[in-house]
């Protein structure tokens, strides 16, 4: 049985295959099961212990216990193993044993990628539990799980997951070579691994997608992507990725077609607003007020009549205050986090406007920038976009609207030249060998 399983199943570190020989009778028993989705204690109690003690004929146990069922068709082996069954061969007869284990009870909730209608649980810091969830949600015999240690001192277990039939093997070799070339003493977080795999120190956009959702991981595997799970980290890494993967949420699969399209359009509008709005405010007020109608231009200028410094100083003050509020809401304890945000956002914002330090229009602009940034579904891309507005502000200070458009052109050029493990980052059409659609929402067009 074990030799035949090596032929029909993809190699996987979590596929346990053992041959047990009784020390006295020299009888042989072959056993195979997937470790993450099977209860080893149950297998130990019902199979290995009775066989080793030999107090009761093991064949009688197989025939009398309802948890054991005889399997005559080898074509069913794949399906049985993937459904949490252990296969046992004894005296040239194959039996399946129901050892399925569920790990959904004590899982943490998804905090960074919340969903209204989708699964509410996230991955676990225990990789075996995470693999249990993934194996149960992606029940394919082509799923391969490779295991390696990373970190010279920590020797942290790293699991590499991919669909053997759909993965781009050139990309897979590239990833394994990069992982083998990492020499670091300690590594405890997927964030550290992400920075090490990025390669370029000054990389502007994230080239790996960090997720805690097993439904996103299952969809990524079905599109031929590679998933990395690190022991002690609740977050998995998906690669290679495109820019469009970061603009789609798993929630897009649970809503109607037109609603999903509208939400995706809103995200792109939010992306443009949070990146360009502060720079446009400076450029229009300081250089190009003529692009607005006369009445609107007078309104904008009148709102700044009591502000004692140039528009770019006003913008920098408000953006720095927003950045501090965001950091404060993250670092403060949960019980007082909402209170500090309310005090900073409402009381401080109102007071600074009434004192004449910033204009009322600037309060609106700052609120739009903060809200638009929070619309983006992936946290790592949201952090990158938070930085993008500052170079555009500097360009707007010196060159006005021309500087804003030059900054946007530079970002588009960076996206076009960026690669995610050899794959085009800003491509509009998926590669048939490695990606058949984007992992967050609809297929690229």
Instruction: Please compute the mean of the pLDDT values over residues 314-337 and round it to a whole number.
Output: 77
Q: Report which of residues 102 and 284 the model is more confident about.
A: 284
Confidence band for 277, pLDDT divided at 50, 70 and 90: very high
Pull the structure tokens for residue 165.
């039939």
Question: Scanning the structure block, which residue is given the tokens 């009322």?
Answer: 360
- Kindly report which listed range (212-216, 339-343, 394-398, 399-403) carries the lowest average pLDDT score: 339-343
**Of 251-260, 335-344, 402-411, the least confident:** 335-344
Q: The pTM is what? A: 0.82
pLDDT interval class at 445 (50, 70, 90): very low
Q: Tell me what pLDDT residue 238 has.
A: 94
pLDDT at position 406 is 94
Q: What is the pLDDT of residue 429?
A: 46
pLDDT at residue 30 is higher than 50: yes
> What is the 3 state secondary structure string of the chain?
CHHHHHHHCCCCCCEEEEEEECCCCCCEEEEEEECCCECHHHHHHHHHHHHHHCCCCHHHHHHHCCCEEEECCHHHHHHHHHCCEEEEEECCEEEEEECECCCCCCCCECCCCCCCCCCCECCCCCHHHHHHHHHHHCCCCCEEEEEEEECCCCCEEEEEEEECCCCCHHHHHHHHHHHHCCCCCCCCCHHHHHHHHHCCCCCCCCCCEEECCHHHHHHHHHCCCEEEEECCCCCEEEECCCHHHHHCCHHHHCCCHHHHHHHHHHHHHHHHHHHHHHHHHHHHHHCCHHHCCHHHHHHHHHHCCCCCCCHHHHHHHHHHHHHHHHHHHHHCCHHHHHHHHHHHHHHHHHHHHHCCCCCHHHHHHHHHHHHHHHHCCCHHHHHHHHHHHHHHHHHHHHHCHHHHHHHHHHHHHHHHHCEECCEECCCCCCCCCCCCCCCCCCCCC
At residue 160, the pLDDT reads 93
Residue range 398-422, pLDDT digits in tens: 998 999 999 999 999 988 888 888 8
Residue 426's pLDDT is: 81
Q: pLDDT by residue (tens digit) across 41-98?
A: 888 888 888 888 876 778 888 888 888 888 888 888 888 888 888 999 888 889 999 8
Band of pLDDT at residue 194, cut at 50, 70 and 90? confident
Examine the pLDDT at 283 and tell me if it is beyond 80: yes
193 compared with 348, residue with greater pLDDT: 193
Asked if residue 390 has pLDDT above 90, the reply is: yes
Residue 296 has pLDDT above 60, yes or no: yes
Average pLDDT over residues 30-34: 89
Single out the residue of 246, 239, 238 nearest to residue 268, CA to CA: 246
Q: What percent of the chain has pLDDT over 90?
A: 18
Identify which of 429, 425, 430 has the alpha carbon closest to the alpha carbon of residue 411.
425
pLDDT at 20 over 70: yes
Task: Look at residue 118 in the predicted model and tell me its pLDDT.
Answer: 78
55 vs 58: CA distance, rounded Å: 9
pLDDT at 442 over 90: no
The pLDDT value recorded for residue 288 is 79
């Amino acid at each position: 049985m074990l030799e035949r399983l090596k032929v029909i199943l993809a190699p996987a570190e979590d596929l346990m295959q053992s041959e047990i020989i009784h020390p006295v009778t020299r009888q042989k028993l072959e056993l195979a099961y997937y470790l993450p989705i099977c209860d080893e204690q149950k297998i130990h109690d019902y199979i290995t212990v009775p066989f080793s003690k030999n107090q009761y004929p093991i064949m009688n146990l197989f025939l009398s216990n309802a948890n054991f069922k005889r399997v005559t068709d080898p074509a069913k082996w794949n399906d049985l193993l993937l459904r949490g069954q252990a296969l046992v061969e004894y005296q040239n007869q194959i039996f399946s044993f129901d050892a399925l284990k569920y790990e959904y009870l004590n899982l943490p909730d998804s905090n960074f990628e919340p969903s209204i209608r989708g699964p509410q649980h996230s991955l676990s810091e225990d990789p075996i539990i995470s693999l249990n969830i993934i194996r149960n949600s992606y029940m394919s015999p082509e799923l391969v799980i490779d295991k390696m240690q990373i970190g010279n001192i920590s020797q942290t277990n790293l699991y590499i997951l991919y669909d053997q039939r759909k993965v781009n093997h050139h990309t897979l070799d590239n990833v394994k070579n990069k992982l083998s070339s990492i020499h670091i003493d300690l590594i405890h977080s997927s964030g550290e691994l992400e920075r090490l795999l990025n390669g370029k120190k000054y990389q502007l956009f994230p080239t790996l997608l960090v997720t805690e959702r097993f439904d996103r991981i299952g969809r990524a595997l079905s599109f031929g992507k590679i998933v990395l799970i690190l022991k002690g980290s609740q977050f998995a890494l998906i690669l290679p990725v495109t820019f469009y993967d970061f603009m789609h949420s798993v929630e897009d699969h649970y809503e109607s077609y037109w609603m999903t399209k509208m939400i995706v359009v809103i995200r792109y509008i939010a992306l443009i607003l949070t990146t360009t709005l502060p720079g446009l405010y400076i450029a229009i007020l300081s250089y190009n007020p003529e692009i607005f109608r006369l009445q609107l231009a007078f309104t904008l200028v009148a709102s700044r009549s009591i502000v004692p410094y140039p528009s770019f100083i006003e913008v920098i003050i408000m953006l720095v205050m927003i950045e501090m509020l965001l950091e404060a809401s993250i670092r403060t304890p949960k019980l007082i986090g909402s209170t500090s945000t309310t005090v900073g956002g409402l009381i401080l914002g109102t007071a600074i406007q009434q004192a004449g330090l910033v204009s009322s229009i600037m309060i609106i602009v700052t609120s739009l920038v903060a809200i638009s940034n929070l619309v983006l579904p992936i946290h790592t891309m949201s952090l990158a976009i938070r930085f993008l507005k500052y170079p555009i502000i500097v360009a707007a200070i010196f060159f006005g609207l021309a500087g804003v458009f030059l900054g946007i052109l530079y970002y588009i050029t960076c996206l076009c030249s960026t690669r995610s493990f050899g794959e085009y980052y800003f491509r509009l059409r998926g590669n048939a060998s490695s990606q058949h659609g984007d992992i967050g929402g609809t297929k690229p067009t």
